[in-house]
Amino acid sequence: MTETTTGTETTTDGERADVLVVGSGIAGCAAALAAARAGADVCLLTKATKPDDASTDWAQGGISTTRGNPDSLKADIIDASDGTADPEAVETLVENADEAVEDVLVDTLGVDFDEGEDGSFDYTREAAHSEHRILHVDAATGTHILRPFLNHVDDHERIEVRQDTAALELITAEGRVHGVVSDREGPRPSDSSSGRRPREKPVGHPIYAGATVLATGGIGALYGRSTNPEDATGDGIAMAALAGADVADMEFVQFHPTAYAGEDPFLLSEALRGEGAVLRNSDGERFMDEYHPQGDLAPRDVVARAVDTEREETGAVVLDVSSLEFDSAYPGIAEKCRDRGIEGDAIPVAPCEHFLCGGIDVDDRGRTSLDRLYAVGECARTGVHGANRLASTSLLEGLVWGLRAGTDATGFEPEIVEAPELRDSDPALPDRFAAEKFTRLTRTMDDYLGLERDPDEIARASAVLRRLKGEVDAYVRTRTARDLYELRNASVVALLIARAASENTESVGCHYVATERDESTAEPTADD
């Protein structure tokens, strides 16, 4: 007995899809669209229930293009990465950039990018870009891309979008991924005509797929202050790593230099500095020229550490937007400032966790080390970003790799194998259990694996995180709940970051190892 729905075929032994995509940001939508265009039936799972639950919706600055000069963009990406970006991956991004933007964003979705007085696109510039090449919609580009993209894939006859549904485990057998176990049941065959009683609802719900694409976003929930949505718990990275997939560059956690410094932080786009805003310390002095030849437009890792230093030495740093038509050019950011009682042209800023440059290791088509498992977007490590990401390349990377992975993931038949059995036999945990463990995790990450790291503190963090993961694993074995699995995933990713940080003793990009100690605070020796 079968029942066919858009994107999936429901049978008595589980659901099946040609391609299963987990995540609904620009990378997941691009993968779903490309697979559907290639003739596959696609199921797209997302934890989100509204667009602003996805990281793409929070993206402000824009999406980079080559603007007819691919060599220049390539050079800027590699320079911003501190020379660590993979040149072949950068070449893949740059070669496909303009075609992907024009095909999907302009022609298919009709994104209304800002235009100048002559009707041509109004390209802006951001930090570490050598020229104006970034398409944008004021400073809310992600919103204007994601919402029409979601509507488009939701209306596609070959794509089923299933909201408020989390993937809990990958279904694997002999090095091959066959789908996921989700936490919500999809449409099932009716048993009414047979006279049989409805089956008991299982704890987990397997969805089998010819190929699985992870597009689960970032890790911002691991830190106390982040520009990510609160459910950015590194789910895809953790599931892939637990299944045996290779991960890489996990130590490269990028902190954005200009997030609002108060409660409820929000991003102040680099486009502001690209158009003339400047950083000042509490003495009113511009300081970035002392730290880097590019001044306020230096790479993010440099600016973030400089802002942190000036805050420590002078008490505060503000972004001075007095040279801009701030309210009219950046209405969304201006409104957030007013909502927080910020008056005038000086906005207090501080570094804030923003983006993971590493992740699940993939090739130029998003293929992981596990057969028929793909990863795209922030959860993937393509090699484009190296140790530090250039502004406005994340949306582009998600779009380009999403399209390439979605196309490559087609043509495989779903196979039914034994799925992991999730247990829910013990009593429910207290309401605050996961939240309290999360607080412990984020405090550890903030204290020991933040903007600057010390080898001894990395080791201390590793010990704390190992104990935390052991505690969480004990509960996951007998209880199934989304917040508990998110906590498990976050603890796995935190340990991967700590492990990578301990193995890389060299300061590079956004992994800054502070090994020098102030002699006045050093412990006494036997000779003292």
Residues known to be catalytic: 300
Closest CA to 58 of 48, 66, 67: 48
Q: Which residues of 498-524 are buried (b: 16+ CB within 10 A; e: fewer)?
A: bbbbbebeebbbbbbbeeeeeeeeeee
Amino acid residing at 469:
K
Q: Give yes or no for a contact between 338 and 330, defined as CB atoms under 8 angstroms apart.
A: no
**226, β-bridge pairs:** 353
Q: Strands 134-135 and 159-162, how do they pair?
A: unpaired
Map residue 513 onto helix, strand or coil: strand
**508, β-bridge pairs:** 511
**105 Cβ contact partners less than 8 Å away, ≥ 6 residues apart:** 63, 111, 113, 135, 145, 399
Chain centroid to CA 95: how far? 23
Inter-CA distances, 508 with 65, 127, 136, 308, Å = 26, 18, 30, 17
Q: How many CB atoms lie within 10 A of CB 322?
A: 11
Cα–Cα distance between 36 and 34 in angstroms, integer? 5
SS3 annotation, 333-401: HHHHHHHCCCCCCEEEEEEEEEEECCEEECCCCCECCCECEEECHHHEECCCCCCCCCCCCHHHHHHHH
* Helix, strand and coil in the chain, % to nearest 5: 40, 20, 40
Closest CA to 352 of 263, 429, 434: 263
